[in-house]
Amino acid sequence: MPPVFAFALAYPLVAAPVEEPGPHYGVNHAHIHRVGRGYGSPLSAGELAHLRLLGVTHVALTPFGYQRSADAASLAGYRSRTDVYTPRDRTMTDAHLAAEMDNAHAAGLRVAMKPHIWSNDFWGGHHEWHGTVRQNTPEDHAAWWRAYRAMTLHYARLAQAHGADLFVLGTELVTMTREHPEEWRQLARDVREVFDGELTYAAHWFGEYEQIPFWDELDYIGVNAYFPLDAGPDPDVDAMVEAWRPHVEAIRQIHERFDKPVLLMEVGYRPVADTHLEPWRHGGGVADDDAQAAAYEALFRAFKDEPWMRGYYIWKTFTDPDAGARRLDDTSFSFRKRPAEQVVRRWFTMPVP
């Protein structure tokens, strides 16, 4: 693919504050699990300020609940006798999260709290992921759900205390939402008792977002949009925009069914050739910065005339972008310090119609 975007870092020296609610020009801001490099650190505060210069208006923070296996009946940090959830990651305590929210607000950013589940089973080779989290007996499910509810309410209260605008009930827990939708409906009502902001859920792009019946309880339909684009190898931007059409139409149908606006709670591309074909892949491929930039350009063009689309949360940025690159590889999902950064800035700083 020939270069199609010039890479320049000519930003204004002062970021304008976010004054009125508008489109969510967001990023999923990932915590580096090292003291002094993660949430609440001066490094992350500097990165938040830079993101605001790019036109970013919202950051999604992602605390984790940990479980031993995909079919575990408990979460680390939960004690059923007290019905209290206590985070177990010493590099990401409530104090770190609180400081990160405060630093985001100081930079003129709004905050989404987006808890995730993690298990060692999710590492490569186990064929497990968030969507396969399940329990083996009704008793195990009751125990897991009690723990998950305690964790969710814990972070909802923290989000309320530090002025977050959006809370995400869960992320890609496909089996759980499919088999227990009424529990999620009640969870949304419970969260509203302790959190005054808006609610959504981050649904998987395949086989989940179309099937969720409780969107009517939430403020947004949330989609993790790693849709494959059927545009063949090495396409131009126009071909990728065209390949987006069936996915845009499918999302529109869910919007119309529930009369709710839509947020793409995760959408991202790695800087590798043909990144549009399997955007969910975390590794492999031939490095290609221009392919990443072109995929982002196609994304924004595909949705630019859809009034029900309320915004994007790009996957992802890091509290320390340099540590993020070393921690993964040179083809991680980060768009920072690549040509795609200029594409994001151009679209995120366009005047709102």
Write out the two tokens for 23. 């489109």
350: number of Cβ within 10 Å: 13
pLDDT number for residue 7: 32
Lowest mean pLDDT among 40-49, 126-135, 236-245: 126-135
pLDDT number for residue 351: 81
pLDDT number for residue 22: 86
pLDDT number for residue 123: 86
Nearest alpha-carbon partner for 231 in 283, 287, 263, 269: 269
pLDDT number for residue 310: 98
pLDDT number for residue 327: 45
pLDDT number for residue 13: 34
Q: How far apart are CA 155 and CA 112, in angstroms?
A: 11
Question: What number is the average pLDDT over the span 306-318?
Answer: 97
Angle of helix 289-303 relative to helix 237-258, nearest 10 degrees, comes to: 40
Write out the two tokens for 327. 């921690």
Whether 56 shows a pLDDT value over 50: the answer reads yes
Write out the two tokens for 310. 């309320």
> Which residues does residue 309 pair with via DSSP β-bridges, in sequence order?
262
Name residue, tokens 């529930």. Answer: 258
User: Cα separations (Å) of 77 from 31, 87, 121, 148?
Assistant: 19, 5, 18, 11
pLDDT number for residue 140: 97
Mean pLDDT of the chain: 92
Name residue, tokens 């395949």. Answer: 206
Q: How far apart are CA 7 and CA 290, in angstroms?
A: 10
Name residue, tokens 């409530």. Answer: 94
Whether 325 shows a pLDDT value over 70: the answer reads no
pLDDT tens digits, 172-200: 999 999 999 999 999 999 999 999 999 99
213: number of Cβ within 10 Å: 13
Question: What number is the average pLDDT over the span 34-51?
Answer: 96
Whether 15 shows a pLDDT value over 60: the answer reads no
Sign of the torsion angle spanned by Cα atoms 295, 309, 304, 317: negative
Walk me through the domains of the chain, giving residue ranges and CATH numbers: 24-348 (3.20.20.80)
Whether 17 shows a pLDDT value over 80: the answer reads no
Please, how many CA atoms are within 13 Å of residue 107, restricted to the half-sphere of its CB?
27
pLDDT number for residue 18: 46
Question: What number is the average pLDDT over the span 135-147?
Answer: 97
Q: pTM of this prediction?
A: 0.93
User: Mind spelling out the 3-state secondary structure of 19-84?
Assistant: CCCCCEEEEEEECCCCCCCCCCCHHHHHHHHHHHHCCCCEEEECCEEEECCCCCCCCCCEECCCCE
Whether 275 shows a pLDDT value over 60: the answer reads yes
Calculate the CA dihedral of residues 194, 195, 196, 202 and round it to 10 degrees.
-150
DSSP for 255-323 reads HHHHT--EEEEEE---SBTTTTTSTT--S-S-B-HHHHHHHHHHHHHHHTT-TTEEEEEEEEEESSHHH
CB 36 within 8 A of CB 43: yes
Determine what percent of the chain is predicted with pLDDT higher than 90: 85
CB 97 within 8 A of CB 61: yes
pLDDT number for residue 352: 67
Q: How far apart are CA 9 and CA 54, in angstroms?
A: 10
Q: How far apart are CA 72 and CA 341, in angstroms?
A: 40
pLDDT number for residue 10: 38
pLDDT tens digits, 229-267: 999 999 999 999 999 999 999 999 999 999 999 999 999
pLDDT number for residue 242: 98
User: Cα separations (Å) of 203 from 177, 207, 210, 230, 233?
Assistant: 9, 9, 9, 21, 28
Query: Which of the four pLDDT bands, split at 50, 70 and 90, describes residue 21?
Result: low
